[in-house]
Amino acid sequence: MAKPKRKTRKGTAPSWRAIKQKRGKRAVTFTARLRKFKFFARFAGIGATVLGVIIVGLLCFYLIKTATDFFHLSGPPKPLGRVVMHTNGVLDEDWLKESFRPNKSTNLMDIDIRGLKKTLESSGQVRSAMIERQFPDALVVSLSEYQPVAKVAVRGKKKKTRIYLVSKEGAVYEGSNYPRATLEHLPYLDGVELKQTKRGFRPIGGMEVVSELLDLSRRSTPELYADWQVISLKNYSGDSAQVGATISIRTRSMGEIIFSPQDLQEQLDRLDYIVQYIKDERIRKVKRIDLTLEDQAAVQLAIQTNVRRR
Amino acid sequence: MIGSSKIIGAVEIGSSKVAVLVGEIVDGDSLNIIGLGESPSHGVKKGEIVDFKAASEATHDALARAEQASGASIDEAYLSQSGGHLRGFLNTATVNVSSSSSVVSESDLTRANQEAKAKQLQESRVYLHHIHNGYQLDGRSVGYPLGMDGSKLSLAYWSIHADTQKIKDHIHVVNAFGLKVDEVIVSGLASSITVTSEDERAQGVLVIDFGSGTTDYVLYQNAFVCASGSIPVGGDHITNDVSLGLRISRKQAESLKIEFGHCQVSPGDAGEKVWLIGDKMIGDRHLPKAAINQIIEARMSELLQLIKEELGEQWNPKLAPAGVIITGGASLLSGLGEMVEAVFEQSAHYGLAPSWVREDLTAPSYSTVLGLLHYALTGQTRYQARTQQRKSGLWNRMAKIFN
């Protein structure tokens, strides 16, 4: 038995593990090639199956999304018998008829659902429209309308002023079918720069905060809310974190009230206290109440220039 | 990991057959044998590959059959190794205990380990195993010396090394099937693990695996491997001798050996004759039984003496009270047990497969592949190595569709 040499370098004795293994580089036999082929075929099959499932899934999704246009029902065509309308707002079927006047002989299947949806949504007052065919002869129109929180006067080309409504999302639109009382109670919006687009006006930023303020005031201090006339967004672009951002409200009897866009409820509580104090002290002319001074408020009176801090 | 399993392929590329046993190791601590594939061997002589293509064909055929039988793809291959190029030697290292308080520390053990394993081999040889052979502290044998007092720590390994190219050939045959060889284990070690118990190894036992191309042996003393070897003589050589001696074909010689062969010529053999083919048709003839057995006796006696000579002074019947255990396909030769007892002056008996092995795998020719799987199992639990979660669930189910 041959004895090994004495060590020359520590830790460098060769082990069989140092032999480089050539797994799968070249299948030498038919059996090995067949195994390799089966291995890749298996994964190709899995890949094809997964791809097929994805394609079928996407196709189904596409079909479901465009189902009304894709599936053509066979059978005798039926003319449109009735139109059923649902809405969460004030629009009615008369309004709908202005946008959609089908012939009596119009086939239910021939109605351009997409086109009708587009037309209704372009009115401005309609936030979204869902239209379904209800066989055999009905068309169901479900509308979701914008709810107005303010109104804005817009001077047109011929110096004619038109009143537009503003929703809490900032959408500007001409209102239809609203009761007069509803519109009268809406405060005016001032200090906004309206930008015209193809479909009307660009949405006004910051209306969510304004809507929240109006909503809170309407619920917690309704008598104060009733006094509000104009909301000015001159110093408010919609970014509540902006330094110096304020919302001013011109009232009938309390002059101008300046709010910070944050902590609205707390400001309303302070305002309520201040108004009560003013009434108790019988202070007649208040020019401005500034609620933006954190836990203080600056009240400016009309006949005196003294500032009384509360 | 709950439910993790690994598929192990135990591959024995022998001189007469290639056997692949597939086992599933579940959660790293239990083994299920799930398939067997066998194929007649080609291109292998005396345990060494002489024709790569032919050996690959035979091995891949066996691997494919095994995978088909088990219904699973093999994740890892454990490969047995045999042949005259295997050599073993006792590798010792002694280090001084570094601590001033003379207490053996981890670093002392590490240094002794590194020292023992770092001995360079001749060119073109690589280590296959370093089998731990016990510690000595100041000349006395100890179990595990960490924390004990002493000044000189000795560590011994029974190191087995082999010809690099021959190992490469075996590994590349398996690689060509698309499998990586995770472990290479000497056949003698694998088969000895199967047929011996812990008690027998602790008492001292010699295991001889008679294969068709090689005969492997392992000597245990105090539960350590203290000698091992592989002699490139096996059952095929006996067949060859009978074929040449009686001037018959190898096939006829093999048939006669199995049917009538005995390791010792008995007095009753003198006048007895046997039919060459057995159908008593044209071409069939009588052959003296004594002639057959003389040839067999001579070759077997020579083989056993070779083993005894290689063991040298290490063989002491008194140090192996568990005797000699014989296994392997060629061990079924009649009268072998008695001859082994006579040569080694110790009791000899056939190794039995463990009780959990199913009946069709209890033949001595499967002891090597069973040992490889046992090694794979004990290697898993001992070292908690590379538990690879078998891909289950949707991916594997989808893969099975295309299987």
Yes or no, beta carbons of A5 and B120 under 8 Å apart: yes
Query: Order of strands, edge to edge, in the sheet holding B224-231?
Result: B224-231, B215-221, B205-210, B324-327, B348-350
d(CA B306, CA B27): 44
d(CA B229, CA B226): 11
pLDDT digits (tens, 9 = 90+) for B34-78: 999 999 999 999 999 999 999 999 999 999 999 999 999 999 999
In chain A, the residue whose alpha carbon lies closest to the alpha carbon of B88 is A1
pLDDT digits (tens, 9 = 90+) for B362-381: 899 999 999 999 999 887 54
Give the minimum alpha-carbon distance from A61 to chain B in angstroms, rounded to a whole number.
23
| Residue A69 pLDDT level (bands cut at 50, 70, 90) | low
Residue A70 confidence (pLDDT) above 90: no
Give the minimum alpha-carbon distance from B115 to chain A in angstroms, rounded to a whole number.
7
Q: Which residues, 6 or more positions from B64, have their beta carbon under 8 angstroms from its beta carbon?
A: A31, A34, A35, B37
pLDDT reported for residue A24:
61
Yes or no, beta carbons of A4 and B121 under 8 Å apart: yes
Give the minimum alpha-carbon distance from B304 to chain A in angstroms, rounded to a whole number.
18
In chain A, the residue whose alpha carbon lies closest to the alpha carbon of B128 is A16
**ipTM, two decimals:** 0.81
Copy the structure tokens of residue A182: 């509803």
Q: Which residues does chain A have within 8 Å of residue B118's beta carbon, measured at their own beta carbons? A: 7, 9-13
B183 and chain A in contact, CB less than 8 A: no
Work out the average pLDDT over B20-36: 90
B178 phi/psi in degrees, rounded to 5:
100, 15
Pick among A3, A6, A16, A36 to test the B interface (most B CBs inside 10 A): A16
Interfacial A residues in 3-42 facing B (CB < 8 Å): 3-16, 18-19, 21-29, 31-32, 34-36, 38-39, 41-42
Interfacial B residues in 88-117 facing A (CB < 8 Å): 88-89, 114-115, 117
Mean pLDDT score of chain B, rounded to an integer? 88
In chain B, the residue whose alpha carbon lies closest to the alpha carbon of A36 is B178
| Beta bridge pairs of residue B37 | B20
pLDDT digits (tens, 9 = 90+) for B109-167: 888 888 888 888 888 899 999 898 889 899 888 888 888 999 899 998 999 999 999 99
Q: Which residues, 6 or more positions from B363, have their beta carbon under 8 angstroms from its beta carbon?
A: B329, B353
Q: How many CB atoms lie within 10 A of CB A112?
A: 11
Are A145 and A95 within 8 A, CB to CB?
A: no
Residue B271 confidence (pLDDT) above 90: no
Residue A272 confidence (pLDDT) above 60: yes
Interfacial B residues in 135-164 facing A (CB < 8 Å): 161-162, 164
B182 and chain A in contact, CB less than 8 A: no
Name residue B107's amino acid.
Answer: S
| Residue A12 pLDDT level (bands cut at 50, 70, 90) | low
Which one is predicted more confidently, A170 or A22? A170
Closest partner residue to A23 (CB to CB) among B87, B115, B179 is B179
Work out the average pLDDT over A294-303: 67
pLDDT digits (tens, 9 = 90+) for B291-302: 889 999 999 999
pLDDT digits (tens, 9 = 90+) for B195-222: 999 999 999 999 999 999 999 999 999 8
Closest partner residue to B118 (CB to CB) among A11, A28, A42 is A11
B187 phi/psi in degrees, rounded to 5:
-55, -45
In this prediction the pTM is 0.61
B56 and chain A in contact, CB less than 8 A: yes
Closest partner residue to A15 (CB to CB) among B53, B127, B181 is B127
B165 and chain A in contact, CB less than 8 A: no
In chain A, the residue whose alpha carbon lies closest to the alpha carbon of B130 is A15
Yes or no, beta carbons of B175 and A23 under 8 Å apart: yes
